[in-house]
Amino acid sequence: MPDFLVRAAAGASTKSANKRAADKAANASPELPVAPALPTPPAPRAPHPRKSGPPAPPPERFQQAPTEASAPAAEFKDPHADREALRYAEPIASREAILQLLDACDGPQTAEEIAEQLNLSDRIDALGKRLAAMVREAQLVQNRRGGYAPVQQTSLIAGVVIANPEGFGFLKPDEGGDDLFLPPYEMRKVMHGDRALANVTGIDRRGRREGAIARVLERRMSRMLGRFFYEHGVAYVDPDDKRVQRNVQIAPDGIGEAREGQLVVCELIAPPDARRPAIGKIIAVLGDKLTPSLVVEMAIHGHELPHEFPQEVLDEAAAVPLVVEPQMIGGRVDLRQMPLVTIDGEDAKDFDDAVYCEPNVDGFRLVVAIADVSNYVRPGTPLDDEAQKRATSVYFPGFVVPMLPETLSNGICSLMPKVDRMCFVCDMQFGRDGEVTGSRFYEAVMNSHARLTYNQVWKAVGEDDADTKAFIGPLLPQVQRLHQLYNVLSKARTQRGAIEFETSEVRFVLDNTGEVTQAGMLVRNDAHKLIEECMIAANVEAARYLLSMHVPAPYRVHERPPESKYEDLLEFLKEFQLSLPAWSKVRPG
């Protein structure tokens, strides 16, 4: 056991008794043996070059004070101190260090005891927030006396509640494995989506593990959509989501302007328990009958989509210039004379990417430019925080809930035609076989030469439509070169054995009131696939660059197969005179 854990365990066991007795015991106890110190963690990888800067020095606050009950104190080396120093200006103990400490203790430890053992008594508030987060995420449990212990030291199972409209439910364990059956009387304590800790109480007659809710870690549902009713002096909302198994009782002062039978949105102000339902108040009245706009509102409220921007976000967006001023360009590469074009659907409102292709002696040059949103949305700002909260724009028929205010998403961050825009570029060189021979990334300023649609491009290059070709005019050779490159890339993908994922998409046509007047399958043509191929190529090059720079990032690839199974496959293929590269050389492609 590492040195700091030996001493921490000794300190923890004495603190669990009466303090006076503990002090006396500490003074009288023999010297403890000292285990080797933890190895120094490796230096962190260099950050992305665009966000480079010297790493913060590792914290020096983790010094173990010498005690009479232990050998002379060595420096406490948090195994993840460097990582914490990079993330926080005033780092505290990592989650891993806290778990190691508590694993070595005889019983639960209070925040004050943990802080004292880690020499963090002056950072007790920050430590308390970290401990609370670890409880929410089911890494720790906290008893009624305020003591913390790792969940693994208990028989409790952490997971997410999945409700069934029939009244029962299940706990889906965070660690995987079979779900835990929750009978109806246990489901009265929780709601669908809650994170909870549960005990296994036995096996039901169908052979399933049955459980009881021990504690709710996090209430996921804060708002609810349903119909308002008032019966026998009791006001309640009948939830639209049938996985919510009990009505929500509305407090007398929370009815507002709602009338019986209306669709409403209620906010939960008290969770349910075994004896009473959840209590709520009505915060919005949607109406009496369903209309297209009401259906959209129901979806927004039902899924709790953030749809109103805080004032500080709107203020920050309003301060962003509406046009690119000359002084803003700085050292960016000037691509304004390059005939970049956007190719999107007819109903697209924002334009995120533009493309350009030219042949050369070695094959083709492809330029993919994307709107440089990061030029306007800076880390740590209200705009950035709100964008992270929303994660994506949400599209409804004829309506969108944007990730950013529309002055940005449909304005300065949209590659509209004939206006200057900031962009970030992946500039690639392809051989005649469709393989990338080189690529580079840079910031640029561009001016889209045309806003084209998939159908226009397909009519020009696939159907040889004279009117469309005349409409595209001097940009027609550029569109034809893009299609030529697409054919080369498509052939290369086929030769690599890439899997084609063809999905069906339904397109709805709405009238002025939002009612659906027509529906049909969206037919994909080469123009859709052309843009798709360009984006895949740029993303692959971005992934290669991040890997080469050792930047952690999510990759949409499969892991290599297990080596033993791969060797079995090689042996099988030998019978057919077929071969594959060695397992160590298998890479996504």
Q: Which distant-in-sequence residues (6+ apart) come within 8 Å of 415 by Cβ? A: 340, 342, 351, 352, 353, 354, 369, 371, 421, 423, 446, 448
Phi, psi of 205 (to 5 degrees): -70, -15
Higher model confidence: residue 102 or residue 522? Answer: 102
Q: How far is CA 325 from CA 369, 374, 445, in A?
A: 19, 17, 11
pLDDT surpasses 50 at 516: yes
Domains of the chain by residue range = 3-152, 155-218, 223-302, 314-526, 557-589
pLDDT surpasses 80 at 293: no
pLDDT surpasses 50 at 29: no
What is the model's pLDDT at position 430?
Answer: 96
Residue pLDDT, tens place only, 395-408: 887 788 999 999 99
pLDDT surpasses 70 at 39: no
What is the model's pLDDT at position 531?
Answer: 95
Between the ranges 283-297, 300-314, 474-488, 516-530, where is the mean pLDDT highest?
474-488
What is the model's pLDDT at position 346?
Answer: 87
Q: Which distant-in-sequence residues (6+ apart) come within 8 Å of 298 by Cβ? A: 225, 240, 263, 286, 290
Per-residue pLDDT band at 23 (split at 50, 70, 90): very low
In this structure, of 75-84, 182-191, 221-230, 256-265, the range with the lowest mean pLDDT score is: 75-84
Residue pLDDT, tens place only, 230-276: 998 899 999 988 888 899 999 999 998 899 999 998 999 999 988 89
Between the ranges 61-65, 73-77, 165-169, where is the mean pLDDT highest?
165-169
- Asked if 367 and 427 count as a contact pair (C-beta separation under 8 A), the reply is yes
Assign 70 to helix, strand or coil. coil
Q: Which two tokens stand for residue 197?
A: 């800790």
Average pLDDT over residues 101-111: 86
Q: How far is CA 339 from the centre of its chain?
A: 35
Q: Which distant-in-sequence residues (6+ apart) come within 8 Å of 396 by Cβ? A: 296, 299
Per-residue pLDDT band at 351 (split at 50, 70, 90): very high
Residue pLDDT, tens place only, 316-340: 999 999 999 999 998 999 999 999 9
Q: How far is CA 23 from CA 6, 13, 112, in A?
A: 18, 11, 17
Per-residue pLDDT band at 444 (split at 50, 70, 90): very high
pLDDT surpasses 80 at 120: yes
The domain 223-302 having CATH identifier 2.20.25.90: the answer here is no
Fold classification of 155-218 is OB fold (Dihydrolipoamide Acetyltransferase, E2P) (2.40.50)
Per-residue pLDDT band at 55 (split at 50, 70, 90): very low
Per-residue pLDDT band at 66 (split at 50, 70, 90): very low
In this structure, of 62-71, 108-117, 437-446, the range with the lowest mean pLDDT score is: 62-71
Pairing of strands 436-447, 333-334: parallel
Query: How many whole angstroms separate alpha carbon 2 and alpha carbon 349?
Result: 59
Assign 314 to helix, strand or coil. helix
Per-residue pLDDT band at 76 (split at 50, 70, 90): low
Look over the chain and give the mean of its residue pLDDT values, rounded to a whole number: 82
What is the model's pLDDT at position 421?
Answer: 97
What is the model's pLDDT at position 297?
Answer: 81
Higher model confidence: residue 513 or residue 325? Answer: 325
Higher model confidence: residue 189 or residue 103? Answer: 189
